[in-house]
Structure 1
Amino acid sequence: MAAVSDLAFDPWDPAFLANPYPAYAELRERGRVIRFEPTDQWLVPHHADVSALLRDRRLGRTYQHRFEHEDFGRTAPPAEHEPFHTLNDHGMLDLEPPDHTRIRRLVSKAFTPRTVDRLVPYVENLAGELVAALVAAGGGDLLTDVAEPLPVAVIAEMLGIPESDRAQLRPWSADICGMYELNPSEDTAARAVRASEEFSEYLRELIAARRKDPGDDLISGLIEAHDEGDRLTEQEMISTAVLLLNAGHEATVNATVNGWAALFRNPGQLAALRADHSLVPSAIEELMRYDTPLQLFERWVLDDIEIDGTTIPRGAEIAMLFGSANHDPAVFAAPERLDLTRRENPHISFSAGIHYCIGAPLARIELAASMRALLTQAPTLTLAADPERKPNFVIRGLEGLNVRVG
């Protein structure tokens, strides 16, 4: 087992955050599971193991469907964090069957392929307008001018959140998502709690309004969704709406800026994409693999498991390294090379198993719309300044991406 002191894996080191992939290669060489004391977790860096563990029912996003905190060898979260955990723990992402199965089935009745397909003209028109404004200005910050407003507006439109209320959604989401980083600070927790309270209260009022006056939106659909008399509770609707907003734009925002930063670093690939727009679908998959927006996904060990002769006991936490799995040479030929024509690309950026991202089709539509708009309207787009990496590990993104047109 590797000692912490001689691991290059350091999720708080700016040099590591700038480029974690060499450290992942070292982890894969060290073995299939590595104990990491600073976070009290077992790191899993190989694609085959991550893929299998995402489907392994001996692991769970929660343990509270089977164990009390004390029985599981864990302590309950601080009471002052309760608003965050009430919001977080009633969402599909942090539930296990049977609750997960019931809620996902009900949400799927509202979040249908037809619902997503109906949004395509809206997504493409909005992407075109945002890029046109960027071009008219001669450039700007691709993050704030295109990458953020597009998916936030799309999921808000889908949920039925009025345009006048949308400005507060991104700050709420950013504060809540801070709790998903490793060992979040008390200041981070306080911001997440405040955002959870404010966002929940806003949605409670919106749900009440939709009960009186239903519309053709996802909130109304969640209210109406039922199966054999079963319905979502109000808290489940609130948690679902927040999850869809947070997951529905965080990955898309970061995939957009990470992807374009990677294209600027690989001018040959960018030139090939500009010459052949039919590469857009495979380019999106490759960029999601190449610089993964969600680097780590956690699971609790509900029953002892064994990985390569090492027993991981019940009560332990496993950290599956998506970024490492997506660069595993056992699965991807020349994984450190950006190849927009890559044919076999079983990346796990959208997870797998029962927690596979329900919004993956929508994310792909948004990424394709913004990429095509930029390729068409800004064919000479260039990087105006070296981007600064956000000081986050789990959710990987940039502070901004300043670009120039012409």
Structure 2
Amino acid sequence: MSVPDASPFSLDLTAPEFIRDPYPALDAVREATPAFWQQERLFITRYDDIARVLKDSRRFGRSAHNVLSRDEGALPHLNADPRRASFDAFNSNHLLDSEPPKHTRLRSLVQLAFTPRRVEGLRERIGSIVEGVVEGLRERETFDLVRDYSEPLPVTVIAELLGVPQEERHQLRPWSAAIVRLYELNPSDQAISEAERAVLDFSALLRSLLRQRRANPQDDLITALAEVEQAGERLSEQELVDTCILLLNAGHEASVNGLTAGVLNLWRSGQWQDVVQAAQQNAPESYFRTAMEELLRFDTPLPMFERWVQEETEVAGVPVQPGQKLALLYASGNRDPRKFDAPGELRLGRDPNPHLTFGLGIHYCLGAPLARLELSASLRALALAFPRLEVDEFGYGGGFVIRGLERMDVRSV
């Protein structure tokens, strides 16, 4: 299949300066064009066009397998790469990259185990974990907000939710970090190797835990997923394992990156003291949830998702064919002035706030309620513990598709 010629518009998604601050370039290209071709993808820049694609699962899908078999070799980038066989197998068995009817079956089964009641039951435990982390930092002059504060909560919550033993938890964050690097556009050979190893190692741990739960059920998500049944349907062992890996990746990458970037932007904008004052005055949880929604819109932790075209149609006025790929620039859509008033301003009370960060349509993030609970609790606790927080140095690591601070040194003055 031919791919249209490159457009006069382009983004250097790997440039360190772009990863550090993509918004000037995104603003410019969004106002110049709703869509442009680059790297064999049609990049979509505006909110309404992105939302239309996300809501139309008939024409646009997460998986190439609904369009073409890799064995057909119709497109060079669809050919199977044996170096990433385990990663690709993992992607074919979870919610994020499945389409109806498989997606409908998987989501209905997972939802029976990963219930709102189970998430709400974590509220007290989340508060306890946050307080424990804060106590460990109070006497330190400086600390890394990423490693020492943002990471421990979501990793611990996912570990406890799944039932991962304490002695195995230190591996979870490195595994997730390795796996998600393959969602970048051009992963290195080393990234492919490390992701493949991480999928295999995490899968082995989960299979071992699953055998234990079948012999001795516990009050955890692995047990619940193993036992869930609907109309005679159950999750296969592979589907269960891959669902748990997805929950780790999706369950904490956005939380870690969203909270850290959120605190940085509060500090930069001079609004940290507004959050501190709200915490000290015992503002309701709704204040912190509304504030976090705006922080997630303003600086999107997962700035780009992709979709495959499944039937001939058009996007943003551009004709597209089955097998072509779309790159949805969430970070651009979340700053679209056609949808948001003064989108370049951080307004903590913004309401309504229909941002794209958790997606739309059938692939709307299943873990969004848990992420919101974690993020609002983390923001409140940090503001109470460190009312005079100052940022010293920070640096971004990784790529643009999953964009996050690698470190952020802070101190309490």
Q: TM-score range by the shorter chain?
A: over 0.9
Aligned to 1:31: 33
1:86 is the counterpart of 2:89 = yes
Q: After TM superposition, give the deviation of residue 138 of structure 1 in Å.
A: 2.8
Q: Counterpart of 1:18?
A: 20
Contact between 2:67 and 2:323, CA under 8 Å: does it hold in 1? no
Deviation string 1:257-296 (CA, Å, 9 cap, x unpaired) is 11011111111x2222222233312110010001100000
The answer for unaligned runs of 5 or more in structure 2 is none
Which residues in structure 2 correspond to 1:125-164 (within 5 Å)?
125-164=128-167
Secondary structure of 2:345's aligned partner: coil
Q: Give how far 1:23 is off.
A: 1.1
Q: Check 1:238–1:245 CA distance in 2 against 1; reply closer, same or farther (3 A cut).
A: same
Q: Is 2:43 the counterpart of 1:43?
A: yes
Q: Which amino acid aligns with 1:82?
A: A
Q: How far apart in 2 are the matches of 1:3 and 1:40?
A: 9
Q: Normalising by the residue count of structure 2, what TM-score does the alignment of the two structures yield? A: 0.94
C-alpha distance in structure 1 between counterparts of 2:62 and 2:355, whole Å: 21
Shift of residue 248 of structure 1? 0.2
Cα displacement string for residues 40-59 of structure 1 (whole angstroms, at most 9, x for unaligned residues): 10000100011111011211
Q: Tell whether 2:397 aligns with 1:390.
A: yes
% identical equivalent positions:
43
Cα separation, 2, equivalents of 1:328 and 1:91:
31
Unmatched 5+ stretches in structure 1: none
Segment of structure 1 superposing worse, 349-358 or 369-378: 369-378
Q: 2:371 maps to which residue?
A: 363
Deviates more, 1:285-294 or 1:304-313: 304-313
Contact 1:128–1:370 (8 Å) recurs in 2:
no
1:113 counterpart residue number: 116
Q: Which amino acid aligns with 2:231?
A: E
Task: Report the CA distance between 1:31 and its aligned residue.
Answer: 1.8
Shift of 1:76: 2.3
Query: In the aligned structure 1, how far is the partner of 2:206 from the partner of 2:261?
Result: 31
1:63 maps onto 2:77 in alignment: no
Divergent runs of 4+, >4 A: 2-6
Query: Does structure 2 conserve the Cα–Cα contact (< 8 Å) formed by 1:280 and 1:371?
Result: yes
Deviations 1:292-320 (A, max 9, x none): 00000000001012124320111100000
Q: Please, which of 397, 401, 405 is the counterpart of residue 408 of structure 2?
A: 401
* In structure 2, distance between residues paired with 1:4 and 1:294: 25
Deviations 1:176-229 (A, max 9, x none): 101001111121111111111111111111111111011000000000011011
- Which residue matches 1:242? 245
Quick one: distance in 2 between partners of 1:210 and 1:6?
Answer: 56
2:255 partner amino acid: T
TM-score, normalised to structure 1's length? 0.96
Distance 2:318 2:107 in 1: 34
Aligned partner letter, 2:17: A
**CA RMSD in angstroms, aligned pairs only:** 1.5
Q: Greater shift after overlay, 21-30 or 150-159?
A: 21-30
In 2, the alpha carbon distance for the partners of 1:314 and 1:71 equals 14
